[in-house]
Structure 1
């Protein structure tokens, strides 16, 4: 099947419908379908979107005949990773289809490859500030989307899986699991952003546990962890804190809460920078995030962060583009509804409601 028309023709044959019935199902005039199959008319972007929805294939496959590599990975990996890869495949396919329809990924990389992780993090923080956002904002996923144009999504994947990133010409995606530990989820987003900015594993990079010692042995993992640590716990802020007065347990708890990082991560970073010794590090690491928030008088705020981190989050930029594609008539409502996890009919009724 060397052409798009060949692939559509094969799909019609497999469906068991007549050309007329198939045309009716995808909302296309039967004469126009025949002309497209015969080569005297080109399939429009909306035609292809409707064929892909009807037949369960991707627009990319209809055009190229090539199945994305990510689909193969999703089928060959078991357990929780398979759920993550399946979701990443679905979102990557939607993003690729949006690109075909004229709504491409608004990715803004910073050309940071071959630079030290600390330099990458400083440049990334400066870029975030330049676009009017802050690393300290609680809606960290939204900050990353606004500053870099990556799609960021949070999915319920179960324990034992932190996140993954997908990087291709058309897709820049960060997928992380829901968590009752907001600081861990936040660190994972920063970690995966580090992979994207560094150009690691240009198709797919999976992180089952960003804190696991085995992963830290890998150079790209060390780089991504160092990037995340520096981005979330900037050197200047920590030195200023240490220079003001001795860091005791109370000031440490307040700092961990303000930076929205785990006490363990902060203690290790302070020790690595020579701002506290090993004994103090071991003492501070025993604090939990909940205890640090309580010591800082922000237990209610912390409870809200736990609630947010525990809930799935669809990718904001991709939702925006899918809706715009529907609004301009380039796509049906189905991709937008699928991203929101709602039925097409109920969504259409809501959109048209007075």
Structure 2
């Protein structure tokens, strides 16, 4: 497919619509659609934007025919990873189009030069820089909505998608988008660790197009230097050294204070036990004893069962990327694009959404 009309025609054929129906969907009558596909009329920038919206492709692909590694992976990968890639492709496609309408993603990712000590040391240094970034933004990681903090402080789009078991998340990076896709989970601490693990990949600029993590706790992954760095980043970011030393103090930790600390930090007891061991705040025997505690049991010991239930509910709920939702609606409100991208993000019918938005004023008047 060497031309724009050929690429549009391939999308028409894949859609299952007639040329007339496809043209109507993008605002072209049958005559203009026919002339555009035959090369007698050029598709305008607005035409291409509407085609891109309708078919979940980028305007850049329509113009150049170049397919990104993310798009190719989404097309060829199945299972839970494929579902995550499909979501990432949708969001990065929308990001690219919204950027073209004057609403670019404004990410703010601190970087750190390589430090002595290898990948793990670099991950810890990145975490310290990221925590400083959070402090400067007057935010805190001590919140049950860390996703919102990551979006606001770093400008990264974060989505939570139903993926089933066996896949934790991915990080995707392109010219126009930085995005993290997480799977819904009944284990909020694991989802929280995955979120920060993927943020670590973005900050370290690992696998610039896509980085898949089927299991962030997979022991075999630790052989990969980039995984070592991302895990060191997540551990340091979620469990900063100074607060841990203050919590342990000269008297050490009881089972109750350990469980409370795990709940307050919203991490798994296993992750906390290993972090304390690596900091030499507990011995190997204590680590073995504490890491055997489950997150649910820790919440019971700490008397935080209700709080744990709320975390499970939040982690189990799908969530579109907050920043992309904001920018897409702003682009629609300014007249730069149609309502369709916003409706796609919300997963709702565009006509029903339009009716709801337009009838709201009348409801208030009544």
TM-score (norm 1): 0.91
Cα distance in 1, alignment partners of residues 353 and 65 from structure 2? 32
TM-superposition CA deviations, 1:76-97 (whole Å, max 9, x none): 3232111111211111111111
TM-superposition CA deviations, 1:146-176 (whole Å, max 9, x none): 0100110111111111111001221111011
Please give the secondary structure, in 1, of the residue aligned with 2:114: coil
The count of corresponding residues between Structure 1 and Structure 2 is 350
Please give the secondary structure, in 1, of the residue aligned with 2:249: helix
Q: Which residue of 2 aligns with 1:43?
A: 44
Do structure 1's residue 299 and structure 2's residue 299 form an aligned pair?
A: no
Mapping of residues 141-290 of structure 1, within 5 Å: 141-290=147-296
Do the aligned partners of residues 23 and 120 (structure 1) sit closer, same or farther apart at CA in structure 2, a change above 3 Å counting?
A: same
Do the aligned partners of residues 313 and 244 (structure 1) sit closer, same or farther apart at CA in structure 2, a change above 3 Å counting?
A: farther
Do the aligned partners of residues 87 and 297 (structure 1) sit closer, same or farther apart at CA in structure 2, a change above 3 Å counting?
A: same
TM-superposition CA deviations, 1:241-291 (whole Å, max 9, x none): 122522111111111111110000000110111100011111111211122
Do structure 1's residue 81 and structure 2's residue 50 form an aligned pair?
A: no
Q: Which residue of 1 aligns with 2:19?
A: 17
TM-superposition CA deviations, 1:302-346 (whole Å, max 9, x none): 110011101111100111111111111221111111111111112
Q: Which residue of 2 aligns with 1:324?
A: 330
Do the aligned partners of residues 56 and 203 (structure 1) sit closer, same or farther apart at CA in structure 2, a change above 3 Å counting?
A: closer
Q: CA deviation at 1:110?
A: 0.9
Q: Which residue of 2 aligns with 1:333?
A: 339
Q: Is the 8 A contact 2:259 2:301 kept in 1?
A: yes
Q: CA deviation at 1:74?
A: 1.9
Structure 1 residues without counterparts, runs of 5 or longer? none
Q: Which residue of 1 aligns with 2:62?
A: 62
Do the aligned partners of residues 83 and 54 (structure 1) sit closer, same or farther apart at CA in structure 2, a change above 3 Å counting?
A: closer
Do the aligned partners of residues 56 and 110 (structure 1) sit closer, same or farther apart at CA in structure 2, a change above 3 Å counting?
A: closer
Q: Is the 8 A contact 1:113 1:197 kept in 2?
A: no
Q: CA deviation at 1:75?
A: 2.8
Do the aligned partners of residues 236 and 69 (structure 1) sit closer, same or farther apart at CA in structure 2, a change above 3 Å counting?
A: same
Q: CA deviation at 1:113?
A: 5.0
Cα distance in 2, alignment partners of residues 50 and 353 from structure 1? 25
More deviation in 245-254 or 46-55?
A: 46-55
More deviation in 139-148 or 70-79?
A: 70-79
Which of 123, 132, 135 is equivalent to 2:129?
123
Please give the secondary structure, in 1, of the residue aligned with 2:19: coil
Q: Is the 8 A contact 1:314 1:339 kept in 2?
A: yes
Q: Which residue of 2 aligns with 1:72?
A: 72
Please give the secondary structure, in 2, of the residue aligned with 1:67: coil
Do structure 1's residue 96 and structure 2's residue 96 form an aligned pair?
A: yes
Do the aligned partners of residues 295 and 265 (structure 1) sit closer, same or farther apart at CA in structure 2, a change above 3 Å counting?
A: same
Structure 2 residues without counterparts, runs of 5 or longer? 116-121, 361-366
Q: Is the 8 A contact 2:19 2:30 kept in 1?
A: no
Cα distance in 1, alignment partners of residues 209 and 257 from structure 2? 43
Do the aligned partners of residues 13 and 209 (structure 1) sit closer, same or farther apart at CA in structure 2, a change above 3 Å counting?
A: closer
Cα distance in 1, alignment partners of residues 339 and 6 from structure 2? 26
Do the aligned partners of residues 282 and 12 (structure 1) sit closer, same or farther apart at CA in structure 2, a change above 3 Å counting?
A: closer
Cα distance in 2, alignment partners of residues 93 and 201 from structure 1? 19
Q: Which residue of 1 aligns with 2:359?
A: 353
